[in-house]
Amino acid sequence: MPNIKARMTPTHTPCEEQKPEGCGIIIFGASGDLVYRKLLPSLFNLYLRKLMPSKFYILGFARTEMTDEDFRERVREALVDAHEDTKGEILDSFLSQCRYTSGDYSDIEAYKRLQKKASGCEDDFSKKENKLFYLALPPQLHPTVVSRLSQSGLTVEGENEDPWARVVFEKPFGHDLQSALELDKHLTSMLKPSQIFRIDHYLGKETVQSILMLRFANIMFEPLWNQRYIDNIQITVAESVGVEHRGGYYEEAGCLRDMFQNHMLQMLSLVTMEPPTRFEAEYVQGERVKLLKAIRPWSERTLKENIVRAQYAAGTMDGKDVPGYHDELNIAPDSTTETFVGMKLYIDNWRWQGVPIYMRSGKRLNMRESEVAVTFKRVPHSVFGFESQHEMPANILVMKIQPDEGVDLTIHTKQPGPKSCMASLSLSFKYDEVFDTAPQDAYERLLLDCMLGDRTLFLSREGVEAAWKVVDPVLNFWRDHPEKAPLHPYKAGSWGPKASDDLLLRSGHLWRNPPDEHGTHFKSLAKPLLVRK
Ligand code: BG6
C-alpha cells in the first residue's frame, strides 16, 4: 500500500516542564539491572534537561557492599554506555550527588545507617527533607522494606506533606488477586494512599499517553469511537527477545501475569475508556478502572475458546538458531509456563457492546512490534460500482507504540485513471521525523511525575484489583483444568501458534501483522485492496 507522509506542522501548546522541589532519591536494590539500565540513565537525562531539583541526592541501598566511590564508578559505566555524548563535567557533577550504603533489607540497624547517611546528604545537597524511595526489588521484599522504613520513621511526612515521603513500587503487585489484596492491606497499614506510587512503565511511554491525546484532542475520532463504527480492535505487544536471564522470575510469572495483568489491560483501558473530565489523576484513574470493571466476565466456554496459551520452541531468528523456552537458563525442562497469550474479550457497556477486542503478547515472536489497531466498519452502501459494500476495504487506524513510534491511518481515494478506480493509502506520521526527537523514556516521565507528586500515569489500588479480577479466573482455569487449555508450541521467530490465528478466523478476522516481504499488513487470507476499473 503506498505510504503518503502526512505533512504536519506541529502546533505546540505550552510544553514547559515543571521542576520538582529538592528531594533525595533512595533506591533499594541498587545493585540490580533495572537501576543501571533504566533508572539512573533516566535520572541523568532529567539532569541534562535541567529537570532534576536544584538540590537533590541519589542514595543507593542494597546488600552488596560498596563504597560511595565504587557505586559512582558503576553509575558512571552505566551512563557512559547509555549516553554516548556524556560530557565529563556534567557527568562528574551528577556523580558527585550519588552515595551508597549497604545492609540487609530486614535489619533495622541498616535503616538507621541509611537514615544517618540520608541526613548527611540532606545537609550537603537538599534543604528539604523530601524523600522518594524507589523499590527496585523482588516483590517478596516489598512488605519487609516498607515495614522497616515505617518503623525507622523514614516515611513519616510533615504537616500538609511538607516534607513528603513517597514510595515507588514496581510490578508485579501480588501473584494473584488474593495476594495483591493482602499486599495492599499491609502497605496501607504503614503508608497513606497518597504516598504509594505503583508503576506500570507502559503508562509512561509517550506513544501510550498519546492514545488519549489522539482520542480526546481531535473531534473526528470520538464520534466514531463505538460499536456503530468500529469492527474490532487489536492490541499486540510482540517481543523478539526470549526470557533472557530472568528465568527464575518468569517461571513463576508467565506471560499473562507479566504482560496482561498490567501493560496490556492498561493500554486497553486507554483505548476504550470514557473521556475523563480532566487530565488529572483522580479522573483518569477513575475512568480506567470503570473500563476494566466493564470487561465481560469469563464463562467456562470463553475461558476455553477465547484464550490461547503457548510456549516457544526452538526456531530461527535473523538467520540464527535460537533455543526453545525449555532450554533457557533456569527453566524447568518440563515447564508449562506460557510465553505467549492471545485472547478475545468483550466490553459490556453501551459504547463497546459486541465489538471483539483481540490482544496478544509473546516472547520470541517474529519482531519487536507493539501497536493498537482500530479497524472501522465498512461503508454501509457501495456507490462506486462494487458489487457490495463488503468489497470495500475498511479504514484502519494504527497507533504504533514501539519501536517505530507513529500513527497510520488507511484511507481510500480516487486513483488517477478510470472513473471508479480506487486506491488505498496510508496517511502516516513518525514521531522522530515530525518532532525531530525520539520519544523520551517511560521511566524519565514517571520519575519526574513522582517527584512532582502527579499520579495521573500511576496505577490506583482499584486499578490493580480490577486487572487481577480479569486475569485471576484465567489463571485458576489453567491450574484446575489444564486438559481444557492446552499449551500450544510455537516456533521462535513466528507470530505465535496456529491456534491464535484460528481464534480470529472463527469470527472472520485476521491478525494485523507488520509488513512482510510482500509489503502487506495482512496474512494471505486478507482480500487484496480493491481497484475496480
Ligand atoms: C516488563 C516485563 O514489564 O516489560 C518484560 O516484565 C517485558 O518481560 C517488558 O520484556 C517489556 O517492556 P518494553 O518497554 O521493552 O516493551
Distance (Å) from CA 120 to ligand 1 centroid: 36
Catalytic annotation present for 263: yes
Give the chain's count of helices (H) and strands (E): 16, 18
Residue 292: CB partners within 8 Å, gap ≥ 6?
A: 265, 269, 463, 466, 467, 469, 470
Model-level pTM? 0.93
Query: To 5 degrees, how large is the angle CA 346–CA 348–CA 349?
Result: 130
Ligand 1 contact, 170 CB (< 6 A): no
Strands 307-313 and 487-491: parallel
Contact (CB, 8 A) for 474 and 303 = yes
Q: What is the pLDDT of residue 216?
A: 97
Q: H/E element holding 412?
A: strand 406-414
Q: How many angstroms separate the alpha carbon of residue 363 from the centre of ligand 1?
A: 10
Q: How far is the CA of 332 from the centre of ligand 1 (A)?
A: 22
- CA 427 / ligand 1 centre spacing (Å): 29
- The Å distance, Cα 263 to ligand 1 centre, comes to 9
CATH 3.40.50.720 for domain 23-170, yes or no, is yes
DSSP secondary-structure letter at 404? S
pLDDT for residue 286: 97
Write out the residue limits of the CATH 3.40.50.720 domain(s) in the chain.
Answer: 23-170
pLDDT given at position 523? 36
pLDDT of residue 87: 67
Q: Which residues of the chain have pLDDT under 50?
A: 516-533
The residue whose CA has the least distance to atom 10 of ligand 1 is 239
Cα 94 to middle of ligand 1, angstroms: 28
237: helix, strand or coil? strand
Which of the listed residues 42, 201, 443 should we mutate to test ligand 1's pocket, taking the one with most ligand atoms within 8 A of CB?
201
CA distances from 84 to 47, 92, 173, 295 (A): 16, 15, 35, 45
What pLDDT digit, counting tens, does each position of 32-69 carry?
A: 888 999 999 999 999 999 999 999 999 999 999 999 99
Which of the following is catalytic: 263, 488, 509, 521? 263
CB-based burial label for 529 (10 Å; 0-12, 13-18, 19+): middle
Task: Write out the E strands in 353-395.
Answer: 357-362, 369-376
Q: How far apart are alpha carbons 198 and 138 in whole angstroms?
A: 14
Ligand 1 contacts CB of residue 239 (under 6 A)? yes
Which mutation among 171, 237, 239, 246 tests ligand 1's pocket best, with the greatest number of atoms within 8 A of CB? 239
Please give the pLDDT value at position 127: 62
C-beta 371 within 6 A of ligand 1: no
Q: What pLDDT score was predicted for residue 390?
A: 65
Tell me, in angstroms, the distance from the centre of ligand 1 to residue 239's CA.
Answer: 8
pLDDT of residue 424: 87
For 462, phi and psi rounded to 5 degrees?
-65, -35
Ligand 1: residue whose CA is nearest its atom 13: 202
E strands, 36-110, are 56-62, 98-102
DSSP β-ladder status, 340-345 and 230-238:
unpaired
Ligand 1 pocket: which of 250, 259, 266 to mutate (most atoms within 8 A of CB): 259
Q: Which atom of ligand 1 is nearest to the CA of 442?
A: 14
Q: What is the pLDDT of residue 525?
A: 31
**Substitution candidate for ligand 1 out of 258, 372, 405 with most atoms within 8 A of CB:** 258
What pLDDT, on the 0 to 100 scale, is given for residue 72? 96
- How many other C-beta atoms lie within 10 A of the C-beta of residue 286? 18
| Start-end of CATH 3.30.360.10 domains in the chain | 204-505
405 lines ligand 1 (CB under 6 A): no
- Look at strands 357-362 and 196-199 and give their pairing: unpaired
CA-nearest residue for atom 14, ligand 1, is: 202
CATH number for region 204-505: 3.30.360.10
Residue with CA nearest ligand 1 atom 5: 258
